[in-house]
Structures are given as C-alpha cells and as structure tokens.
Chain A
Amino acid sequence: MDSVLPQLLTGLATASSLFLVASGLTIIFGVTRIVNFSHGSLTMLGAYIGWSILTRLPRDPAWFALGILLTALATALIGVLIERVVLRRVYRAPELFQLLATFGVVLIVQDATLWLWGAVELPLPRPRWLRGFVEVAGGRFPFYDLVLIAIGPVVLGLLWLVMNRTRWGTLVRAATLDREMVAALGVDQRRLFTSVFALGAGLAGLGGALSLPNASANLGIDLSVITDAFVVVVVGGLGSLPGAFVASLLIGILQAFGIVLVPKITLVLVFLVMAVVLVFRPNGLMGRPQAEAREAALAAPVVRAAPPALRWLGAVALVLAVLAPFGAGDYYLTVLTDACVAILFATSLHFMMGPGGMASFGHAAWFGIGAYAAGLLLHWAGAPMPLGLLAAPVAAGIVAALFGWFVVRLSGVYLSMLTLAFAQIAWAVSFQWVEVTGGDNGLLGVWPPDWARSPRVTYWIALALSVGVALLLRRALYAPYGYALRAARDSAARAQSIGLDVARLRLVALVIAGAACGLGGAIFSYGKGGVFPTYISIPHSVEALLMVLLGGLQTVAGPIVGALVYTGLADLLVRSTDLWRLVLGAVIVLLVTAFPEGIAGAARRLWLRGREA
C-alpha cells in the first residue's frame, strides 16, 4: 500500500501535462468554434523547438525556464501564422471545414518537421538537477515531476487571472458565450481570434517543451497528443478551463491506478471514461450547452435533385466505369475497386453528416466492424464471400443501433467526440486482443472465391454494390424519411413539435450509415486479402471526413466526387514522392480555402450562376 502515494503523485504529474495541452485547445474552441486538429502538431513543434533552444542554452534551471518561455513564444507565433494564412480564410465556411484545413496543416507540419529535424527522435540531455529525486514513501520520486505537478495549477491560476481580470479576458469569455453578439457590439473579431489562437498555440508549445525532460521530441507526438487532448477537453466540457483541469486530474489519476489494477486495458480506459461522462453529462463535466451560433441556425439549403445535364454526366460516368476493365490494367482496376469502396465510405458518412447533421469523427469504426465481421466469419465458420458481404452490414448495423442509443442524444462536437471515442475503443480491441482479432497482424486469407478472384470481377462486384448502395441512400434522402431527417437536423425543437421522433430518425440514419459503411469494409477486405486494425485508425476516419468535405456536403454527388478525387490524388502522390504528406496537406489547404463549399458545391454554384445570368 505504500505505493499509493507515489502512484497518485505520478498521476498528478500526468494530469498537469495533459492540462497544458488541453487548455490551449479548449480556449481556441471556446472562442473560434474550431476543432483544431493541428493542436498536437503545435505541441510537437513545441518539443522540437524547445529541444533546439534548450540544447543551445546553459543547463541551469533559470536558463531552462527562459528556454521554455521562448519556445512558448515561438509556437505562439507559428499559431498566428497558421491563423492568418489558413484559418482566417475559412471562418465563414460551414462548420467542420476548419477541421479539414487544420488537418491539412497536420500533414504539412509532419513533413516539415521531418525535413527540419530529421527522423531520429531527439531527447533533451538532462542535467543533474532534472534527474534529481525526493524520497516519497520510502521510494524515489522525480523532482521534475513535482515541478510539473505545480505548473498545472499555476498555469490555471494565470489563465484565470487573464480571463477574469483583463479586458481581453472579458472579451474572450463573452465571445465564448455569444460570439455574434460580441461582434455586433463592435469588437474586432479578427484580432480577438488571432490573439486567442496565439495563446492556445503558446500553451501547446509550452506543453511540448515541458514534456522534454521526461520524453523526447519525436514525430509521433502530434497524433498521440491530439487524441488525449480531445478526450480531456470533451470530458471537461468544451471551452471550459476549470473543466479541462478537472478532467485532466480525473484522467491522469485514473490512468496511474489503472496501470496497476488492469494493465492491459489502459488505452480503452480513457475512452471509456469519456463515453461514460458523455452519457451522463452530454456537455461534459463543466460545459454549458452550446449557444446556437446564429449563422449556423440558417437552415442549410435543401439538397435538390440533380439537373438533367448532371444526370446525363453521371450516366456517362457509370457506363465508362462499367466498361473500365476492358481498358485499364490490373493495377488500375484495384485502384478503381478502392475508389468504389471509398464511395461507400464517403456516401455513408455523408448520409448521417449532411442530411443527418451528425458529423462522425469515428466513421472508420463501422468500416472495421464490417471487415472484422466478414473476416471472423470466414475464420470461425468458413463463411464464403456472399455470406460475408451480407453479414458485414448486418453486424455494423446492429452495433450502430446499440451505440446509437448513446450518440443520438448528443449534438455537435460532443457527438463527434463520442464517435471518435467509440472508434478508438474498437481500434484498441482489434489491436490488443490478439487471441481473437490477431492483433496488428490482422486476419489473413480473406480472399474472394475462385470465380470472383480476378481483379475484373472483384471490381464489378464492388462497383455494383457501391453504386447500388449510393442510389439507395439517395432514394432514402428524397423519401419522406429523408425530409423528416433533414427537418430534425435543421430544427430539432420544431421537428419534435410536429410529431417527429427526432431521436429515432437519427438512430435510423446512424444504422443505415453504419451498415453501408460496414459493407464497404467487407468489400475492401476481400480486395486486400486481410483485415487489419489500421482500418479503424483515426487517420482512416479522417479520410472519410476529408472525402465528404472535399466533395461538399450540400449535394448528393459531393461525397462521390470527393471519394474519387481523394483516392486518385493519394494514389498518385504516394507513388511519385516521399513528400506526399506535404503535397497532400497543401492541396487540402488550397482546396478548402478556394472552395469552402467543396468541389461539387463549387461546381454547382458555377453551374447555377451560368443559369441565372
């Protein structure tokens, strides 16, 4: 039992580190409503810049502190740069588009960091005082961890002072509550946003630099930090600083003791905490219900049926697609098969996200569940492909129905985060439960039967299923159900008052989307000969979002166009350059700033402009 105190202190130190990163994210979100995916990248840059600065300074505590502060300033400047160059151009874009832009930044920063600092991880050499320890309960406890424990509350206190004792802080709090009203009162929003972004970025950099004595600057920081920070921010309540602090404590301490009690499930534990909190407190521990942003309250335009010309274009494309195997080589057929799967992946997400208004950050979960359903059926029961293709959507749909019960009562970013948590749990199970899922080695030997084995037949099957499902989804959208779903999205209260069961409508949308996506996962597995946890990874979920947003939310063709463009672009870039992440990121940022309504949306606007003129 004498290990309780050191374990508790360790948890507190972890909590402080979490809070530093999460506080910046929550402040940025509170004011700008931006889900800043690049926050982890800013932390990573903080670690690298901190390493570069600290290795050049004398190794005394005072210089160390100075170096840390310089690092925070430097990342704050980078934050300003990102805000001015990228985000400022997309504030007016529909929600979530900023997310896409920040993900482009993530990709760019990854390659830039690799280019600037190299591939090898860079640990900061620790001077003697950073290796010191104090005796706690008969054991050694690192002195630096005590410092970290103190820094968390100190930063919270300073932020509280800034927020409550300065005019700037008052404006930030006001903007967090009601940003349109603040603008209407004549506050320069641009400057406010820039300064808030700088503060958030500075805090991220501070967190990155302060992690150096215990860890190293490495290229994996961005993604590992961003998931942790998301969890903390959501558990605490978006935009709430004290909430982020409490959530950090909760998660840090739970993690420290979880390691002792249940060493194998620590990864899942964090996300379970988040799921439980969201079920009982849909706005996080200390969050308030989000004030309706007035701009967003304008109902999105009704998705109209495509004009005849576009239908003709679609028909021609379909005929070409059917005939493709007679012209394209085997490799291009597999790329086209992947594109068909991508269409399923994107249209299913679009269904719940566009008309359904539920933006999922964990759409890959359904993809993976479908894939594992087909793979496991094959392994346990030798089920052939047709059965697998049937079982996949059924399994994904059933899980979606169970999980949907939790989801549909949430809204906005909380909903997105719960889907992310669920996807992470699914990923952790597939990655760590080696006995059943094969772990990261995956399930192998998932091939189609002999008659369907040639790339040509595989492609036709994928094409038929994806086009069929896309048409079914479109049909559902124009059915009374689709109109009811859109009504529930545009105004849940009014929909409820005319007798629509909003929760049920959304649940059905989730089940349909999950089932369609699960089918995509199964088709994909038969094409690749295996099922792997990477199918459920966060980057894969983000790909689905990228496709939908690239194509545009407000047209049915949008996700299809997005899926085709993304698949083609990714394939082309990966094969032509080692810097594909940099180029892809830049292309995403450019597309987002040039076409904030997506490619298909922009095409539609140009088309309409021609008609009206």
Chain B
Amino acid sequence: MAVTRRLVLGASGALAAPGLLRAQGGAPIRIGEINSYTAQPAFTVPYRNAMQLAVEGVNARGGVLGRPLELITRDDAGRPQDAVRLAGELVNDQKVDVLAGAYLSNVGLALGEYAAQNKRLYVGGEPLTDAMVWEKGNRYTFRLRPSTYMQASILAEEAAKLPAKRWVTVAPNYEFGQSGVKWFRQLLAARRPDVQFVGEQWPALGRVDAGATVQALEAMRPEGIFNVLFGTDLTNFVRQGNTRGLFERRSVASLLTGEPEYLDPLGDEAPEGWIVTGYPGEMIDTPAHKAFASAYRGKFNAKPMCGSLVGYALINSIAAGIAKAGSVEVERMVEGFRGVRFDTPAGPAEYRAIDQQGTLGVYVGRTALRNNAGVMTDWRYIDGKDLLPSDEVVRGLRPASAS
C-alpha cells in the first residue's frame, strides 16, 4: 500500500513539478489518435470532446515532462486496414510519440499488431475484446477500458444471486457477442451449477429481426435472459419485447445497456429492473467525477457520456505513464506504463504490469425510469482489479512474447 501511494505521489509530482519550470520551452509530446469518427459518431464524438478537455487540463497544469501535450486525431471509417495505414501516417509523417484510440475491437487489435511490429507504444481506449491484452496481447499494447470478460463477470455474479434457473441468451453474432455469452455462461454456471441454458439467439449485428427474435425467445419460456445486443439492435429488441411482454416477470442481465449511449435512445421505453453494466453519469457524486462532469458540461453544454469518461481517462493515463517513464523513448515508456497509477473521474486506476490491462472499473446497477427516461439505480462501482481472473490464469492466457 505504502509503495503504491508513493508511486501515485511520484507520478503526480512528475506530472506537475518539472512542468511548472519548463512548460513553455519544450516541443509538444504528440499523441496520435485513431477512431471511428464517421462510422460510430454517437460514441466517438463525446469521447473526442473529453480528450480535448483532458489535454487542456494537462497542459494547464504544465504539461508532461515540461512539454505540452498535442492531440492529433484521424478517422478510420470503421476499417482496421485504414487504421493501420493512418497509424503509419501518424508515426512516420506526424512523428507522434504515442498511438492511441480505437472504438471497434478489430481496429484495436490491428493497431496493437502495428504497434508490436513497429515497436511503438499503443494505448487503446474503448475496444472491449479480451484478445487485445490476452491471446493477442503484446509488449507495446495497453488497454484502458474494462474488457468483455470483466463486464460479463460482474453480470454473472449478480445473476447468480437471482432465483432464475432457466436462462436464454441473445447476442449479436460476432466476436463480441460470442465471447460475452461464453463468459457469462461459464461464470454463471461455475457459481450456480443448477442453472440451465435452454436456448440462444444470434441475430446478425445491426440487422436484428426483432419481432421474430423476441417470439423465438418467448417460446423457450425462460426465467432469465442474458442480452448482449446494443445500439439500434437493442432499440428494436426492447420495443418488440415490451409490446410482446417478453420481459415481464423475467430477470434480464444486459451487457453495456446502462451506458447513456445505449440507454438514452430507448426513451420512455427503457426497461425497468434490468441488471446492467454502464455509466450513471452525473449521478456520480465523488469530488473527482463532479469536477470532471461540470468541466465537461461547461465546455460542451452536454452531459458526459460513457465515451467521455473513457476519453478523459485515456489522456490522463497517457500523461501519467509518460511522466512515470520520464521519457518518450518507446521501451522506457512501456516500462513506465506498466504498473502506472493514474486518476480517473471514476476513481484511481492502473495499467497492470501483468497484462497491461487498465483497472478502470465497471458500474453495475439496475435500470429504472425517471421522468420518462432510462437511468441506472442502485448502482455501485467495482474496481477493475477485482473483476479479473487470477494472475496464474492471466499468465497462461498471454503469449510469452508479450513480456
């Protein structure tokens, strides 16, 4: 404990003290950020806003290593191949010191691959796939946000407390949906051997035939439903489910549904009583979060979204990592980022040395309706470090080359 506290103090000291002396003189430290700005604007725009806010904050405090931060963003159009090309542009042409970004898992993996191949530091913000730090993990890739495994494990823990025994799953048919269901089933079955999974639905991503899917789930007569649908699929699913009474007297556990990005569009049809992971936004009343939320609202006249939290924390984590490394030389940054502690609006977090996964936590709670809009209630924040498997398991998952 004493060690970590000293580390925090050390990191924040490095962040502030030398900066005050030399902030004016140094050339900026450039962060090259790539994201799906045109393909996923609803998520990436609040995220980019918060990144800008964080950069201004860091620079107002004197920058990092006495140098200001500079953020350069690029649009990958939702295509990993474009992200790789633009990574080359940012590194070779713009001479950035750190690569960051990605919303889609495949873009995150492609950038991680580029980073490993070209020995550059890459810090992923939003991608959820477990592979990014485990099976396909590498020395140069860090990831901030809680992974699919972490989100599914807290839902499985909550679902295990319910009386429901007959479960069905519904998930978009691609890697994220498939691993979400895999982990939930595995972790719930481990806690509750009496639970049965009696059916599954796999609509194609972005093209759910909601009526038929709801009808098929209804016919399975489940007691509990595990949902991984999100975005427009979720909207359609919830509407058909409400009309057809699918959710009545049934328990529902749902991945990500508590994020305002997904919950807000449901409007007054937001389901009540679903167990969800998400982001309660301005209801969080810790001083750190209040400061963040009011600064964000002040600058953009909008409430912070989950993406905003990630974008803000991402920049601060990069600043802390560079400060701890004391250099922007790649290998020193890798060592510096490992185990670096940083503050986020949600609470303190770190990049674990063992798998380079961030311990930004998960908010879990229940959905409810307030003033005809969906909100999270009874929520609590679980530190990411408590949601990960044992070190032994993690070591087995990561390739040896990633050390």
Contact = CB atoms under 8 A, between A and B. Distances in A.
B85 A334 contact: yes
Interface residues of B, number: 70
Contacts of A432: 173-174, 202, 204
A534 B201 contact: no
A434 B85 contact: no
Contact of A7 (B105, B129, B215): B215
Interface string A212-224: 0111101110001
Main DSSP-derived SS at the B contact region: helix
A571 B88 CA distance: 12
A441 B129 contact: yes
A571 B41 CA distance: 20
A529 B212 contact: no
Contacts of A122: 265
B353 interface: no
A224 B269 CA distance: 24
Contact of B80 (A263, A331, A447, A534): A534
B240 interface: yes
B93 interface: yes
Contacts of B113: 444-445, 529-530
Nearest to B213: A259
A115 B213 CA distance: 33
Contacts of A224: 206-207
A214 B209 CA distance: 10
Interface string B232-244: 1001100110111
Interface string B29-46: 000000001100110010
Nearest to A259: B212
Interface string A109-130: 0010010000111110110000
Contacts of B340: none
A444 B110 CA distance: 7
Given A6-B215, A7-B212, A220-B232, A438 B175 contact: yes
A215 B237 CA distance: 9
Nearest to A524: B81
Interface stretch (B70-78, B286-294, B383-391): B70-78
Contacts of A214: 210-211, 236, 239-240
B207 A121 contact: no
B204 A218 contact: no
A133 interface: yes
Given A260-B219, A534-B78, A123 B266 contact: yes
Name which of A224, A259, A434, A441 has the most chain B CB atoms within 10 A of its CB: A441
A30 interface: no
Nearest to A119: B41
Given A140-B244, A431-B174, 4 more contacts: A145-B211, A215-B210, A215-B232, A574-B74
Interface of A: 3, 6-7, 10-11, 13-14, 111, 114, 119-123, 125-126, 131-133, 139-142, 144-145, 213-216, 218-220, 224, 255-256, 259-260, 263-264, 266-267, 329-331, 334-335, 338, 428, 431-432, 434, 438-442, 444-445, 447, 455, 524, 528-530, 532-535, 571, 574-575, 578, 580-581
14 contacts: A10-B211, A14-B211, A123-B239, A139-B244, A139-B245, A214-B211, A220-B206, A255-B209, A334-B88, A432-B174, A434-B178, A532-B106, A574-B75, A574-B86
Interface of B: 37-38, 41-42, 45, 74-75, 77-82, 84-86, 88-89, 91-93, 104-106, 109-110, 113-114, 117, 129, 131, 136, 173-176, 178, 200-207, 209-213, 215-216, 218-219, 231-232, 235-236, 239-240, 242-245, 264-269
